[in-house]
Amino acid sequence: MIASLIYNTPELIPTLRSQVPDIYLIDVSDKPLKGCDLRYDSNLLWAQNWHRLLMETNAFYVWMLNSDIEGFNIKMYNKLVWQLHAIDGFMITPAFNSPHQLFQPCKKEATFAVNWIDMACPVINVAKYRELGGFDPKFKGYFADVDLCYRARLKGYDMLVDYSLKVNHLGSYTVAKTNKWEQAHAGDSELIVNKYGKTWTELCQ
């Protein structure tokens, strides 16, 4: 399954559909939007919106695309799934213009293992996600992925970046629409420290 959350950004729907016409769009907007496949009337923010989908889907793998990702296609998805399936891994992502590449430096190998994946566009193994218990509901956004990846590392699950595949991430497009997301993320870094006794940057290294 290739899927994306849509939050008050109807202008992004045609772009997403043009890249993969049957992309599965989940509407969590303030008011219902046309052109989506599923609507959640209650917006639980990024982590828990995805959690609902991942816990109810019948798909083995889900490509969790931010709505502001450009340059993806079905061939890219198939390659990512093939690599993930071959090693029974947890997550894999194409490379993109992430501000967090400090923790994912480009190496000579096209595909290599990382400690943490910046989850703007990962393909995720749904069964392993459920085995981990999914996103911790205490985290609302950015640090929910750090927490999930750290728990995956403790279980010995593989996470990969494929630098032979690249997409463009516009970055913070949805956040610019509202300050609700930033407000929800404000306490997440403190939650990381309280849970593990480490900062989020220490968990990524």
- Helix, strand or coil, per DSSP, at residue 142: helix
Give the residue extent of every domain in the chain: 2-204
Cα torsion 135, 140, 145, 147: sign: negative
- In tens, the pLDDT along 145-198 reads 889 999 999 999 999 999 889 898 876 545 444 445 454 455 777 777 777 777
Q: Which residues, other chains included, contact 142 with Cβ-Cβ below 8 Å and sequence gap of 6+?
A: 185, 188
User: What six digits make up the tokens of 106?
Assistant: 């480009």
pTM: 0.87
Residue 10 has pLDDT above 90, yes or no: yes
pLDDT recorded at residue 104: 55
- Partnered with residue 91 across adjacent β-strands are 124, 159
Distance CA 25, CA 31 (A): 15
Letter string b/e over residues 30-64, b meaning 16 or more CB atoms within 10 A of that residue's CB: eeebeebeeeeeebebbbbbbbbbbeeeeeebbbb
Which residue from 114, 98, 195 is spatially nearest to 162, judged by alpha carbons?
Answer: 114
**CATH, domain range 2-204:** 3.90.550.10
